Amino acid sequence: MTDSYESSGVAAAPRGGVPGKRERLIEGARVTLHEQGVEGTTIADIAAAADVPVGNVYYHFKTKDQLVQAAIDAHAQDARAALASLEQGRTPKARLKALVRMFASKGELSAKYGCPQGTLCSELDKREDPLARDAATLMQLPIDWAQRQFKQMGRRDARDLAVALIAAYQGISLLTNTLREPELMSREARRLERWIDSLA
């Protein structure tokens, strides 16, 4: 899985147990866009990653932008599912720390390719089209979730704290990728957990 969040089965098998071509193409798009970037990825690359003949791609997606949109939607669905799963934590502080640990567990992946959502947002932000606006949702989802947790902790500055938390993760993900040092993610996670404790 090439995602900062645990998979919620977006590209998983439909009813029969075997992923269909559309599902495989979406997962192939997520993988190749993360590893190669939007501009560096072709429809042929996505088809190869999905093990789908190139000619069959156009039955499901007419353009590469439609595949990018499907990848954004899949990332958003996984993010919502992962954040919902964190609600099992007994306290908002425990839930926030669980989010930090979930991000930190992706240190090796971040060292290779960066954060899937962050790199996608950064690249698409250079374009002024609906894809850029839709990709921004991938940043908004964890910010809104974290804001709710901080608010439940009684913090009046919940929004600022939520932005600071996600900014810290995105920043360390970039440094981890740039310097190819997965341990940076672990160290920052420990610091963020102490920071969360200090706010309670």
- Tell me the CA distances in angstroms from 139 to 14, 97, 144, 158, one per residue in order: 28, 18, 9, 16
What is the predicted pLDDT for the residue at 19?
80
**Quick one: 30 exposed, middle or buried, by C-beta within 10 A (0-12, 13-18, 19+)?**
buried
Q: Flag whether 11 is in a domain.
A: no
Q: Flag whether 3 is in a domain.
A: no
Q: Flag whether 134 is in a domain.
A: yes
Range of the domain at 41: 21-199
Q: Flag whether 88 is in a domain.
A: yes
Query: 99-147 pLDDT, tens per residue?
Result: 999 999 999 999 999 999 999 999 999 988 899 999 999 999 999 999 9
- Assigned token pair, 147: 């804001």
**What's the chain's average pLDDT?**
92
Query: 38-84 pLDDT, tens per residue?
Result: 999 999 999 999 999 999 999 999 999 999 999 999 999 999 999 99
Q: What is the CATH number of the domain that holds 26?
A: 1.10.357.10
pTM of the model as a whole: 0.90
Cβ proximity of 68 and 131 under 8 Å: yes
Q: Flag whether 179 is in a domain.
A: yes
Give the model's confidence band at 8: pLDDT under 50 very low, under 70 low, under 90 confident, else very high. Answer: very low
Q: Flag whether 102 is in a domain.
A: yes
Q: Flag whether 130 is in a domain.
A: yes
Q: Flag whether 12 is in a domain.
A: no
Q: Domain total for the chain?
A: 1
